Amino acid sequence: MSQTLQAVRGMNDILPDEAEIWENFEDIVRDWLRSYGYRPIRMPIVEPTPLFKRAIGEVTDIVEKEMYSFEDALNGEHLTLRPEGTASCVRAAIQHNLVAAGGPQRLYYHGPMFRHERPQKGRYRQFHQIGIEALGFAGPDIDAEHIIMCARLWDDLGLEDVSLEINSLGSAEERALHRAALITYLEQHQDRLDEDGKRRLYSNPLRILDTKNPDLQDIVEAAPKLADYLGDESREHFDAVQVLLKDAGIPYRINHRLVRGLDYYNRTVFEWVTTRLGAQGTICAGGRYDGLVSQLGGKPQPAAGFAMGVERLLALWKECGGEAERVVPDVYVVHMGDAARRLAFRAAEALRGHGFAATLHCGGGSFKSQMKKADGSGAAIALVIGEDEAAAGEVGVKPLRGHGAQQRVALDLLAETVAEVLFNEDGDEGADNGSV
């Protein structure tokens, strides 16, 4: 016997009960994004490998160790499963001339991303992100909007124990001055650096500040701070962001070690973190990336954005008591006999045509077993069709959740009768205003 095939490690199936929670969450997110004027965009899952090398940085962990890259056997093109969405979104905006043709753009996308990491709770090889990008906006107001809109979503979801950390990475010139000072400082402690630290010392020393190694914490705490190298323009931008956050009543902490793991960031960066998910405590992160559009070949444009991890957010949502409403049909159609089955199909389609959700029983079984399934479906009404009903061209309408007797009605009166029964199920509140 052949071995049963399993999903790739770190790439998970999302089964119906869980998938309904995902869909409910995505509906909330779409409404939230529309309320801020963001429009959807969809990009390919596979992109040219140079896109990510150029955007993310060749000496980042993602490019060096985590990307799923391969050579197209047909034409030799080097391709990569997208590890993040910003580079793809910017590439699409450049390719289709979105900003130049339509002015500044507020965009969002969602879907799977891929990184070859060690799978653990909250960190998977196929994971899902919701990404928000604002292209063509230069001021601190869009930075603040991104942070404030996150706070509103957390409130809509009822999330608890979520805190905000912010920092400014300044300009490329300011980071270069800080980088030189940081290398000089770290060289004095080179014998204490771990392997990652030694590897990054000259290629990406800023990432050493983000180390989780407890043996290096005293070194990074005493390291030169980027804030001391910011010029007036960068300071004013960061101060303006903070004023808007304070006006909105959003508490935050300035974390001088917050650098983000992608090379394209500048000026404002932020992370929303929680203590409820263990080591994978970052649920949302982003910032400004003004140089990326020109870096990818487009006309220079300011830009900012952020992404949230769906798996982590859903885990936190459930941890805080959130749950999706169960999806149930309005009616469940039970039937017995060939003529009844044909009428059942017509009845179910007639109801769907009037906007009702109808589940048609399939697979046979006694009336008793079918009614058990009808009750288990959560439907408010069972349509019962037997030989007598089929011969008369009628349908039995049986309330399952409230009071009222079963009645037989002609097919052309079925939708009206179902509407009345569902209306009565809703109680007296609706009766007072005369609505159906």
Task: Check the annotation: does 264 bind a ligand.
Answer: yes
Average pLDDT over the chain reads 87
pLDDT of residue 431 exceeding 50, the answer is no
Nearest alpha carbon to residue 107 among 134, 136, 84: 134
pLDDT of residue 332 exceeding 50, the answer is yes
The reported pLDDT for the residue numbered 426 is: 60
Task: Check the annotation: does 64 bind a ligand.
Answer: no
pLDDT of residue 434 exceeding 60, the answer is no
Write the class of the CATH domain 331-424.
alpha beta
Task: Check the annotation: does 129 bind a ligand.
Answer: yes
The reported pLDDT for the residue numbered 96 is: 92
CB crowding 402-419: b at 16 or more within 10 Å, else e = eeeeeeebeeeebbebbb
The reported pLDDT for the residue numbered 1 is: 58
pLDDT of residue 202 exceeding 90, the answer is no
pLDDT of residue 432 exceeding 50, the answer is no
Tens digit of each residue's pLDDT (9 = 90 or more) over 368-392: 999 999 999 999 999 999 999 999 9
Residue limits of CATH 3.30.930.10 in the chain: 16-170+230-319
Is the domain 16-170+230-319 a CATH 1.20.1440.20 member?
A: no
DSSP 228-251: GG--HHHHHHHHHHHHHHHHTT--
Task: Check the annotation: does 36 bind a ligand.
Answer: no
Measured from the Cβ of residue 1, the count of other Cβ atoms closer than 10 Å reads: 3
The reported pLDDT for the residue numbered 58 is: 65
- pLDDT tier at 266 (50, 70, 90 boundaries)? confident
Query: CA–CA separation, 111 vs 310, rounded Å?
Result: 9
Residue limits of CATH 3.40.50.800 in the chain: 331-424
Task: Check the annotation: does 260 bind a ligand.
Answer: yes
Structure tokens at 216: 């290096």
All residues at 6 or more sequence positions from 114 whose CB lies less than 8 Å from its CB, including other chains = 45, 67, 68, 81, 82, 83, 125, 126, 127
Q: What is the mean predicted confidence (pLDDT) over 278-282?
A: 76
Task: Check the annotation: does 86 bind a ligand.
Answer: yes
| Range of weakest confidence among 25-39, 131-145, 194-208, 281-295 | 194-208
114 to each of 48, 66, 67, 300, how far by Cα in Å? 14, 8, 7, 28
Nearest alpha carbon to residue 240 among 294, 291, 168, 292: 168
Its pTM stands at 0.80
- pLDDT tier at 353 (50, 70, 90 boundaries)? very high
pLDDT of residue 253 exceeding 70, the answer is yes
The reported pLDDT for the residue numbered 428 is: 43
Q: What is the mean predicted confidence (pLDDT) over 250-256?
A: 92
Task: Check the annotation: does 187 bind a ligand.
Answer: no
**414 in helix, strand or coil?**
helix
* CA atoms within 13 Å, Cβ hemisphere of 425: 17
**430 in helix, strand or coil?**
helix
DSSP 174-228: HHHHHHHHHHHHHHTTGGG--HHHHHHTTT-GGGGGG---GGGHHHHHTSPPGGG
The reported pLDDT for the residue numbered 204 is: 78
Please check whether residue 316 is in contact with residue 278, taking contact to mean a CB–CB distance below 8 angstroms: no
> What angle do helix axes 310-319 and 16-35 make, rounded to 10 degrees?
100
Tens digit of each residue's pLDDT (9 = 90 or more) over 222-247: 888 888 888 999 999 999 999 999 99
